Structure 1
Amino acid sequence: MLFFITTGADQQPGCGCAQDFSFTVQYLERNLPGFAHTVPPTRRRQYAAFKQQLGRAVAAQPSRLACLKYLTTYVEYFRDSHTSISTAGPTVPEDDRAAVARFLASPDFTVSGTLRVDSSRRNAAASDPLEGYYQAADGTYRVYLTRSKTSRRDYAGVIVAARTRLWRPGQIKFELRRNPDATYQAYQYQRNHSVYYVPVVRFAQGRLLGLGWHKQTPNQPAPPPAGPTADFRMLAGTEVAYLRLPSFAGEQWAQLDSLYRAVAPRILRSKYLIIDVRDNPGGADRNVTPLLPFFYARPIKETQAEEYYVTADNLRRYEEYLRRLQADSARYGSDAVWSFRQKLTWLKQVPLNSFVLNPQSTQKTYTLTASLLPLKVAVLYNRGCASACETLLFWARQPSKAVLVGENSAGFVGYGNSLPVTTPCQGFVLNVSTLRFKNQLAYEETGVAPHIRLRDNEDWLAQTLRILQSP
C-alpha cells in the first residue's frame, strides 16, 4: 500500500476528501462482493487500523489529485481488479473553439502538473534505460520520461509534443512509481486530463506495457505496438490468417458481429490463424463466443460460476445499466437487452445482501462441429488482456486447436460486472464489481499463464509465426 503526503485544499469546508473517503468506505463495505473474503474476522483489527491511518490523512482535505491517490490506496486494498476509482472529465469537441477555450480556462486543465526538463538533459544519453523519448500508440503524444523523485513518484512522462490542443509541452502525462518486483504502478492522465490508476506496468522491448507507450531511439526503434483497431489480413508470404481484436466492449457488438461474418469464410480456408488480443481490456463474453468455431476440437465447458452479490445499491446500478442498453440497443443488440432484463427480474426476487449462483453459468457446454481448417490457432496476448479477453483464454486452453502464447494475462477474473457510482463531493467515478467467480479467484491479479512464454528480445508476432509453422 502507498501513502502520499501532501498539503493544500481545493474544496469548500463540509464537502471534500474526507466526505468522499467516508462515502467510498461505506459503499464498498455494503456492496463489494469480495469484502468478506478480504476482511475476515482475523483481519478486522488490521483493516480498522488501515482505515484510521487513511482517515487522518484525508481529514486535512488535501487537493483533489492527492485525495484521489488516498482513495486509490483504500480501493486497492481489496485486490479486486474490476473495482477502481478515477476522475471524470468533460468531453471536449476540439473543433469547437469556444469549448476548447472553456476547457483551457477550467481547473481540469489549469491544475495539471508541470515539470521542466532541461534540454541538455534530454539530448544527453540517459544512464537510466527507462529514461528517454516515448510515443503514444496512436501517435497523438510524444513525451520525455525523466527521473523525478517525489513522495509519490519516481518518474514523470512530460509532454514534448501533442496533436491535440488540450495538452501543452511541459505538462505531466503520466507518473511511475517502482514496485518491489521491478514493475511500476502508474497514474496516467487522459485526453481531457482525467486520471486513472494502473497497478502494474512493465518495461520490456522498449515499451511500457500496460500504458501503451513505446520508446523512440534512433539506433534501435521499438517494434510498433499492436494496432488500436480491429483488423484482419493474411500475413504476407504465409498461410496464416491474422485477426486483431483490441476490444470486446459490449457496445461494439454490431461492429464485431459484422467483422466476424465477413472474415469467417476466409479463416475457415486458412491453414493457421493468429488471434491477437494484446492489450484487449475485455467487455462482453458474447463478443468472444463467435471465435469458438475457429479453434474448436471437442466440447468446451463454461468454467465460470457467476455468483451475484444482491444489494439494494447493486440492483439500482443494474437498473441504470439496463436503461443504457435500451437507449443504445442498436450497438448492444436486442438479445443483450432482453437477456439483461430477464436477469434483473430474476435478481429482484433474491433476498438482499446475499449471493446467488446463476445456474446457467455452470451448465453451458459449447458443442459444435469441428472444421478441418485452421489446423492450429495461436492466441497471442499480454498483460493487457483482461476480463472477457481472459474468458477467451479459459476456453482456448481446454483441449482444442489453440495454443496460448505471450505472457500472463491481467488477472481480472475473480470478480466482474463492474458498474459506476459517483462520489458526492469531488465527483470521482467509483467502479465497483457486483459479482464473483469463486472458482477463478486463484487467477485474480496473477492472470492466465500461456502454454508458450514469448521472449521480450524479439518481435512477438515473428515468434508466434514460428510456433504455428513448426511441426
Structure 2
Amino acid sequence: MKSILILLTFFPFLIYGQDCDCESSFNWMKKTFEENDAGFQYIIDIKGEQAYAAHNEVYADKISEVSDLSECASIMNEWFKFFRKGHVYVDYLGESNSTSNEITEDDSRKKKEIYKLNDIEKFKKNLDQKEESNIEGIWQTSSYTIGIKREANTYIGFIIESEAEEWKKDEVKLKIFKEGESFSSIFYKRDGSPVESEKVALIGKNNLQLGNVFLSRVYPQMKDDASGSLYVRAMKTSSPFMERLNETTLYLRVPSFMADQQKDIDSVLLANRDKILSTENLILDIRYGTGGVDRAYSKLIPFLYTNPIRTVTPDHYSTPLNNQRMLDFSKNEGIAKLYNITFNEEERKEFKKQYDTLSQHIGEFVNLFESEIFVEKLDTVYEYPKNVAIVHNQNNGSSDEQFLLSAKQSTKVKLFGTTTHGVLDISNLNLVYSPCENFMLQYGLTKSRRIPEMTIDNIGIQPDYYITPEIPEYEWIPFVVDVLNEQ
C-alpha cells in the first residue's frame, strides 16, 4: 500500500456570490461541507434528518444576530460539533488590507497594568526566608525576567527586565489566580493580547507552567530532581531527541509527526540505533502531538515490530471539488506550487491515475488502494527493546492515533496515559477559501472502513495503563519507568 498522503489543500471559489456578511459565509460553509465532507452523510444517517434540521434552526437564529466575522467563525465551529470534534474547522482570515486589528505602541501602553515593586533586594530577602518551593520568585521566559509576588489570592507577574520593545519594566506580564486548591492564569503575549489557561503547575521546584508557557526560576534557585527538567525540555522542544534514563531504559521524545519532522525523526533513530537495539526498555513520549503524515513514523515501526500489522484502508469521497486536489498534484499546481512542493514524474502519474478513477465515480466512495486491508510484514524481529511504552494524552489525534493503532498490535508495546482525542475516522483534509477569501474551511476527504465497528472519532484510543490525575504530568515518565522495572 502506498503511504497515505495527508496534505492540506485549497481550491478558491472565485465564481460565487460575493456577499461577505456572516449569513452568506455560513450558508457557503454549510453547502460546501454538506456536498463534499466524507463524514457528513454518515452522521446524518446516525442522528437523523430531523435532529439535523433542529440543529440548523438553532444556528440560523444565532447567525442572523451576528455582524462580527470573527464571532461568526466561532459559531460555525460550534455548528460542526453536531458531526465531530476534529478534522473540521473554519478559520477567519480577517479583512484583506485591514489595519483595524493592529495595536499601536500607544494603544499597547494604555492596555498594560503597572505593578511597581520599589525594593527588589528586600523582595529577595523575603524569598530566602521561605523554606518550601513557592510560585513567588524571580522567573525567566524567552525575552523576559519576571518577578512574581502574591497579593491576597492573586500572584502578579511584573517585568523586571525585557528584551522586547513592547514590554517595559514594572508592566504586568501575567497573573495567577488561586481559588481553593485550583489555579488559573492569564499570560499577556508580546502584542498585549491575553491567553487564559486552567493549566497552572509548579514542576518540581524550578519550573512553572502556565498553559503552553514555561518559566524557569532565577531566584531563589532550589535543588531539584531530574524529572521536572526532562518534562520541561520535552514539552518545549519542537524537535525529537533521545536520552538514557538508566542502564535499562531509553527515552525518546517525538513532539510531532508532521512531514517536515520526518527527517529529524529518522536522524535521531539512526544516530541511536545501536543503543535502542541493545537496551531493554524504550519509552516513546508523543504527548501533545500535532498529527501529521503516516510516513513520518515509518522508521519507528521496525523497533516495535513483533508480528504483521494490519491497517484498514480508507475510502475517498469523490466530488469535483475533492478530486481537483489530485489533478493539481498531477500538475504540481495548487498547494504544491504555493508551498514549493515538487512531485516527481512517477508520483504525478499516480495522482493523475487516481484523479481519473475518482472522476468516474462522482458521488461515491472509492478505495484507491489495492485492497481493503493492508498487512505490513517485516523480515526482522529485534530482541531489544523488549518493552516499548508509548506515552500519550488527550491531545493526541489524527496520525498520532493511526500510529497507536499500528504500534499496539506489537506484543512489545503498552500504551500509557489518558484516552486520546478521537479524530481519525474522517481524515485527509482539504482546505477551501470562501468566496470573499476571508474564511478558510477544512474538512475530511476520506472515511475509514473501520467504522462503525471500531470507531475512534469522539471516543479516542484508551491506554493499557491509565495514569490517574493525582500523578502530575511531569511525573508520568518516572511512573512509566517504575512500571517497566517491575516487569
> Would you say same fold, with TM above 0.5?
yes
Q: Quote how far apart the aligned CAs of 1:408 are.
A: 0.8
- Mark the CA change 1:301 to 1:124 in structure 2 (over 3 Å): closer, same or farther: same
SS in 1 for 2:394: coil
Distance 1:462 1:332 in 2: 44
Question: In 2 relative to 1, CA 252–235 (structure 1 residues): closer, same or farther, beyond 3 Å?
Answer: closer
CA shift, 1:28, in A, is 0.6
Q: CA deviation at 1:173?
A: 2.8
Secondary structure at the residue paired with 2:102?
helix
Give the partner amino acid of 1:314: N
How far has the Cα of 1:72 moved from its partner? 1.2
Structure 1 unmatched ranges of 5 or more: 1-12, 91-101, 135-139, 148-154, 177-183, 185-201
Cα shift at 1:350: 3.5
Identity within the alignment, %? 20
CA distance in 1, matches of 2:210, 2:36: 28
Shift in Å, 1:366: 1.7
1:356 aligned residue:
366
Check whether the contact 1:254–1:331 (CA below 8 A) recurs between aligned residues: no
Question: Are residue 287 (structure 1) and residue 309 (structure 2) matched?
Answer: no
The AA in structure 1 aligned to 2:295 is: R
Number of corresponding residues: 400
How far off is 1:17 after superposition?
Answer: 1.1
Rate the CA distance shift 1:405–1:336 in 2: closer, same or farther, 3 A.
farther
Equivalent residue of 2:317, what SS?
A: strand
Residue of structure 2 equivalent to 1:256: 265
Which AA in structure 1 matches 2:28? F
Q: Secondary structure at the match of 2:303?
A: helix
The structural deviation recorded for 1:463 is 0.9
Letter in 2 for 1:315: N
Question: Paired residue for 2:5?
Answer: none
Is 2:183 the counterpart of 1:173? no
Name the CA distance, whole Å, in 2 between partners of 1:308 and 1:208. Answer: 45
2:151 corresponds to which residue? Answer: 124
8 Å contact kept, 2:38–2:445: yes
1:466/1:319 CA distance change after superposition, 3 Å = farther
Determine if the alignment matches structure 1 residue 469 to structure 2 residue 480. Answer: no
Amino acid at match of 1:235: R
Alpha-carbon deviation of 1:354?
0.9
Residue by residue over 1:76-112, the C-alpha shift from the partner in whole angstroms, topping out at 9 and shown as x without a partner, is 221151111123379xxxxxxxxxxx99x92343499
1:404-419 paired onto structure 2 within 5 Å: 404-419=415-430
C-alpha change, 1:460 and 1:16, in structure 2 (3 Å) is same
Give the letter for the 2:319 counterpart. Answer: T
Deviation at 1:115, TM superposition (A): 7.6
- Structure 1 329/72 Cα, relative in aligned 2: closer, same or farther at 3 Å? closer
Cα-to-partner distance string for 1:275-312 (whole Å, 9 max, x where unaligned)? 1111112111111221111111122211x230111111
Q: Following the alignment from structure 1 to structure 2, what is the Cα–Cα distance between the partners of residues 359 and 391?
A: 17
What displacement does 1:133 show?
7.1
- Contact 2:327–2:355 (Cα < 8 Å) also in 1: no
Over 3 Å counting, the alpha-carbon distance change for 1:468 and 1:325 in structure 2 is: farther
Matched, 1:56 2:61: yes
List aligned pairs for 1:255-274, cutoff 5 A: 255-274=264-283
Aligned twin of 2:170: none
| 2:399 aligned with 1:372 | no
Amino acid at match of 1:429: M
Task: For residue 259 of structure 1, give the secondary structure of its aligned residue in structure 2.
Answer: helix
- Residue 23 of structure 2 corresponds to 18
Cα deviation for residue 227 of structure 1 reads 3.9
Please say if residues 93 and 440 of structure 2, whose CA atoms lie closer than 8 Å, have aligned partners that are also in contact. yes
Structure 1 SS opposite 2:86:
coil
For the residue of structure 2 that corresponds to 1:439, the secondary structure is coil
Q: How big is each residue's C-alpha offset from its partner over 1:37-74, in whole Å with a ceiling of 9 and x where there is no partner?
A: 22239632332232233223323452122111111122
User: Alignment partner of 2:292: what SS?
Assistant: coil
In structure 2, the CA distance between the partners of 1:332 and 1:209, relative to structure 1 (3 Å rule), is: farther
Q: Partners of 2:462 and 2:323 in 1: how far apart?
A: 34
Superposed displacement of residue 315, structure 1: 1.1
Give TM-score, length-normalised by structure 1: 0.71
User: Of the candidates 123, 129, 144, which is equivalent to residue 175 of structure 2?
Assistant: 144
Query: 2:304·2:410 contact (CA, 8 Å) conserved in 1?
Result: no
CA contact (8 A) 1:156 1:172 kept: no
- State whether structure 2 residue 78 is matched by structure 1 residue 73: yes
For 1:410 and 1:240, the matched residues in 2 are separated by 28
* 1:236-286 C-alpha deviation (Å, 9 max, x unpaired): 433322221111112333343333333333311222111111111211111
In the TM superposition, residue 432 of structure 1 has moved relative to its aligned partner by 0.8
When the two chains are superposed, the root-mean-square deviation of aligned CA atoms in Å is: 4.2
CA distance, structure 1, for counterparts of residue 393 and residue 101 of structure 2: 33
Stretch of structure 1 that moved more, 216-225 or 311-320:
216-225
Distance across 1 between alignment mates of 2:202 and 2:360:
50
> In structure 2, how many angstroms separate the alpha carbons of the residues matched to 1:208 and 1:16?
43
Residues 319/338 of structure 1: CA separation in 2 closer, same or farther (3 Å cut): closer
TM-score by length of 2: 0.69
Counterpart position of 1:278: 287
The change in CA–CA distance for 1:241 and 1:254 in structure 2 (over 3 A counts) is same
In the other structure, the counterpart of 1:98 is none
Q: State the match for 1:157 in structure 2.
A: 186
Report the equivalent of 1:421. 432
